[in-house]
Amino acid sequence: MKLVKSLANLGYGSRRQVALMFREGRVTDAAGEVLYADDTPQWHEVHVDGEPLDPPPGLLLMLHKPAGYTCSTKDRGRLVYDLLPPRFAHRSPTLSTVGRLDRETSGLLLMTDDGQLLHRIISPKSKLPKVYEATLAEPLRGDEAATFASGTLMLDSETTPLLPAELEVLSPTRARLTLHEGRYHQVRRMFAAVGNHVDALHRSHVGGLSLGDLPEGEWRMLDESDRTQLFA
């Protein structure tokens, strides 16, 4: 692919703006030598304004989503894209969230521009566990774990029961819930089904990946070993 198109697809600007960046000498190799639009360097050699080029298509990243941010490219209020470099919202192929977290849910959110990978992660066949920590309005009654594990719990307006899920009680009003599917507002609706209300919700794990020490509001690229861990 031509360098101008590659940079435009990474969100550096329109093809016309990128062509101008070449004429201004802003695109160089690692040693600072100016590159021209028809040069064919290796990806890792290209720098823009002295910074290495963003990763090529096929990226997977993890964001520690704070509460109050929406998983959408256009919505009123704060968006998860506001926490990434502005270029990332203009990439082609598009960088999408892998599933969604509600605006008021915090925690581990994956994002990728690889459609096949996205489907593999969210596919029920992959059965990737997702772990949530919920802070509840009411003390737990004691029968919730059995109800959630039963495989017979039916949520309002659904036609198939939920898969068994594991509940671990952390305190009278805090619980860890592991799900093996992802339905709309699933955790909040599950606790509503047992007469409770989720005051705060945080996702700590997807598959074998956890947030580790990634601070809230920060993100990091995931490499091959992270991907192996995700599906482990």
Residues within the interface to ligand URA (CB under 6 A): 101-102, 105, 185-188, 201
Minimal distance, residue 19 CB to ligand URA, in Å = 42
On whether the CB atoms of residues 183 and 155 are closer than 8 A, the answer is: yes
CB-based contact 136:174 (threshold 8 Å) = yes
Q: How far apart are CA 124 and CA 8, in angstroms?
A: 35
Give the C-alpha separation, 131 to 187, whole Å: 10
Catalytic residue among 38, 75, 82, 102: 102
Q: Which tokens in the block code for residue 214?
A: 């990634």
Question: Is 199 noted as a catalytic residue in this protein?
Answer: no
Closest approach of Cβ 132 to ligand URA, in Å?
6
Backbone angles phi, psi at 8, to 5 degrees: -65, -40
- Can you tell me the distance from the alpha carbon of 42 to that of 65, in angstroms, rounded to the nearest whole number? 33
Residue with Cβ nearer ligand URA (35 or 108): 108
Q: Kindly tell me which of 53 and 134 has the beta carbon lying closer to ligand URA.
A: 134
Q: In this structure, what are the phi and psi dihedrals at residue 225, rounded to the nearest 5 degrees?
A: -70, -30
- Least distance in Å: CB of 133 to ligand URA? 11
DSSP assignment letter at 40: -
CB of residue 107 to ligand URA, shortest distance in Å: 8
Is omega for the bond preceding 93 within 30 degrees of 0, making it cis?
Answer: yes
Q: Decide whether 81 or 132 has the Cβ nearer to ligand URA.
A: 132
Answer whether 191's CB lies under 8 Å from 179's CB.
Answer: no
Q: Which is nearer to ligand URA, 29 or 166 (CB)?
A: 166
So which residues are the catalytic ones?
A: 102
